[in-house]
Amino acid sequence: MLWRALILTLLSALPLHGEEVVAGLSQARVSINTTFSGSEILIFGAVKREAPLPTTDLDVIVTVSSPLAPVTVRKKDRRLGIWVNTDSAQIDYAPSFYAVRATKALSEILAPAQDFEYGISIPRAIRASRAQIVTPQSSEFLQALIRIRSNEGAYQQAPNSIELTEDTLFRANIALPANLTEGDYKTRIFLLRNNQVIDAYETTIDVRKVGLERWIYNLAHQQPLLYGLLSLALAIAAGWSASAVFRLFRG
Amino acid sequence: MQIYLPIAEVSVNAFLLFGLGGMVGILSGMFGVGGGFLMTPLLFFIGIPPAVAVATEANQIVASSFSGVLAHLKRKTVDFRMGFVLMGGGIVGAALGIVLFNFLRSLGQVELLVSLCYVVFLGVVGTLMFIESLRAIRRTRNPGALPLPKRRQRSWVHALPFKMKFRTSGLYISVIPPLLVGACVGVLAAIMGVGGGFIMVPAMIYILGMPTKVVVGTSLLQIIAVTAFTTLMHATTNQTVDMALALLLLVGGVLGAQIGTRIGVHLKAEQLRILLALMVLGVCFKLAFDLLVQPSELFSIGTGGGH
């Protein structure tokens, strides 16, 4: 009986080290309307603590990821004097947007095994969801994907970008770009000590097209024929009115 | 002012689109071309996904061609019979073009195909036009030195069966050549996102022997049919027609075309043609350069899996 009670108390004492993250977002919903030009999201929170403050350093990592989608990465090579796509690799699950914010450089505060388990750094976030083993050849394509999307600002990894006050309060800013795709953006917050994740918190940012954007997108995908006819009608009306206006000016 | 395009899923500056539409509109008004061959590469350049650019440009050409054909209808310079024959061929060609486009898209070679088409056709048409207009300028400088070469009255076109009377054009020829010309232009329209006027007009004059007066109006009729069909096909099979993008380009294009027509009046026909030839060759060289020179980034990302 005694060992059972012991396990119960241990369970209730979870999370380990007795520290827990409580967090909020400045907005849980991003609406893409016609004039959408990106959005700034503030992620803030505090560390709830029942035991006295441990002596080791506390670190925080925040990640925001768009829904995962398959992508094909293609490589050009010279054939008959011109540059042609010759080789390609499919990456089954890659976010179109991924941002990592941390109190220090990721390599300093995150053990590789933990990174592998939680899929935190950019290469892990892509690879994490892949079942198959990455060969050196496919890692060339993976690196290209990360390089291109990082240059576009779609993948962001910034060390020292979280303010942590008194080992308790933290805040991170994430700028969502204008070229955002729809979906549930998974937002995760990790607390770390000794390179180990001691607590994690997960929430979603709901990114949706609204208004006219929503209507056009839905129509194009649900009633493609009607949408095509409507596009034509618009074009013909525009062409007709242009010549009518021109005639008015002349006459 | 940034505008988020619902289908392309990119945010672009609305004034930039107005400007592009206007600029291409001025050129198309000046030279009497659709301008698709300029607009589609420009859309690639500002970051619109190629599939969306090609499909949307087809929709925009419907508008500008419709506006143009109305003017020609008034002047009675449209050969409806010839227009319908070309259309028949054009729609078959466009259907083939869409199948080819989607097949190559799954292979990841669609960009190459589009670029190669542009380089070959713009190169050939630009060079021919350049030589022809140089000759024309020389002719006007010393009149009487080089008489106009007489067009051959009877060619292989006249030897083919299934003859038909085209009253407006004053022709009695087989329907096979117009069907073939229509089909070729249809394939190009679907693949390149152009109306195909720059190929069709010379083909109608030199192969079919149509009088220049009715060529532009009739080719516009065919262009409307083919680009409308292409728009519908792209909209139903790929969902890549962006209505918002098309509208923004239209407004600029329509205004530009009216300005361009007025500028065109003040220039001589030969000067216009030589300018157009230089522009066509310019686009051709730029695309050829991109194919021949090692790109700084060898990798590219395509959305979705091929499977």
Using the beta-carbon criterion (under 8 Å), do A83 and B3 form an inter-chain contact? no
In 3D space, the residue among B242, B261, B79, B235 whose CA is nearest the CA of residue A242 turns out to be B261
pLDDT of A53 above 80: no
If one compares B264 and A190, the residue with the highest pLDDT of the two is: A190
Residues 6+ apart with CB under 8 A from B255: B22, B25
Q: Which two tokens mark B289? A: 């350069």
Separation in Å, CA of A147 to nearest CA in chain B:
10
Using the beta-carbon criterion (under 8 Å), do A71 and B232 form an inter-chain contact? no
Q: Which of A3-17, B83-97, B117-131, B157-171 has the lowest mean pLDDT?
A: A3-17
Residues 6+ apart with CB under 8 A from A103: A59, A60, A61, A109, A160, A162, A164, A170
Counted across chains A and B, CB pairs separated by less than 8 A come out at: 184
Residues 6+ apart with CB under 8 A from B172: B163, B164, B165, B166
Task: Summarize pLDDT for A210-243 with one digit per residue, the tens.
Answer: 888 888 888 888 888 999 999 999 888 888 887 7
Is residue A62 a contact partner of residue A188, using CB atoms and an 8 Å limit? Answer: yes
In 3D space, the residue among B171, B178, B189 whose CA is nearest the CA of residue B225 turns out to be B189
In percent, how much of chain A has pLDDT > 90? 12
Q: Where are the alpha helices (DSSP H) in B32-160?
A: 36-45, 50-74, 80-107, 110-141
Interface test with A, best of B56, B67, B224, B240 (most A CBs within 10 A): B67
Averaged pLDDT for residues A177-191? 88
The CA distances from residue A165 to A42, A46, A57, A175, B261, in Å, are 16, 9, 12, 22, 67
The CATH number of the domain covering residues in A12-209: 2.60.40.10
Q: Is the pTM of this model over 0.95?
A: no
Contact list in B for residue A36 (CB cut-off 8 A) is: 2, 4, 11
The CA distances from residue A168 to A20, A48, A158, A219, B101, in Å, are 10, 8, 21, 48, 57
Q: What is the mean pLDDT of chain A?
A: 82
Separation in Å, CA of B211 to nearest CA in chain A:
25
In 3D space, the residue among A87, A33, A84, A64 whose CA is nearest the CA of residue A186 turns out to be A64
B259 interface with A at CB cutoff 8 Å:
no
B244 interface with A at CB cutoff 8 Å:
yes
Instruction: Say which of B6, B62, B70 has its CB closest to residue A216.
Output: B6
Q: To 10 degrees, the CA torsion angle through B142, B143, B149, B150? A: 180
If one compares B133 and A173, the residue with the highest pLDDT of the two is: A173
Residue bearing tokens 């390089």: A147
Q: Which of A126-140, A152-166, B166-180, B288-302 has the lowest mean pLDDT?
A: A126-140
Residue bearing tokens 């027509």: B261
State whether ipTM is beyond 0.90: no
pLDDT of B29 above 50: yes
CB atoms within 10 A of CB B60: 33
Residue bearing tokens 């792209």: B234
Q: Which run of H or E residues covers position A174?
A: strand A169-176
Is residue B243 a contact partner of residue B104, using CB atoms and an 8 Å limit? Answer: no
Contact list in A for residue B289 (CB cut-off 8 A) is: none
Separation in Å, CA of A203 to nearest CA in chain B:
24
The pLDDT score that the predictor gives to residue A4 is 60
In percent, how much of chain B has pLDDT > 70? 91
Is residue A235 a contact partner of residue B59, using CB atoms and an 8 Å limit? Answer: yes
If one compares B80 and B170, the residue with the highest pLDDT of the two is: B80
B3 interface with A at CB cutoff 8 Å:
yes
The pLDDT score that the predictor gives to residue A128 is 45
Averaged pLDDT for residues A94-106? 89
Averaged pLDDT for residues A180-203? 89
B66 interface with A at CB cutoff 8 Å:
yes
Averaged pLDDT for residues A97-111? 89
User: CA-to-CA distance for B209 and B171, rounded, in angstroms?
Assistant: 8
pLDDT of B132 above 90: no
Angle between helices B14-31 and B243-265 (to 10 degrees): 40
Q: What is the mean pLDDT of chain B?
A: 80
Shortest CA distance from A36: residue in chain B: B4
Q: Where exactly are the structural domains of chain B?
A: 2-143+157-292
pLDDT grade for B157, boundaries at 50, 70 and 90: low
The pLDDT score that the predictor gives to residue B119 is 86
- φ, ψ (nearest 5 deg) of residue B127: -65, -45
Contact list in A for residue B295 (CB cut-off 8 A) is: 76, 83
pLDDT of B152 above 60: no
Contact list in B for residue A97 (CB cut-off 8 A) is: none
B289 interface with A at CB cutoff 8 Å:
no
Averaged pLDDT for residues A128-138? 54
Is residue B277 a contact partner of residue B129, using CB atoms and an 8 Å limit? Answer: yes
Tell me the range of A11-25, A26-40, A113-127, A189-203 where mean pLDDT is highest.
Answer: A189-203
pLDDT grade for B3, boundaries at 50, 70 and 90: confident
The pLDDT score that the predictor gives to residue A13 is 47
The pLDDT score that the predictor gives to residue A129 is 45
pLDDT of A98 above 90: yes
User: CA-to-CA distance for A132 and A71, rounded, in angstroms?
Assistant: 15
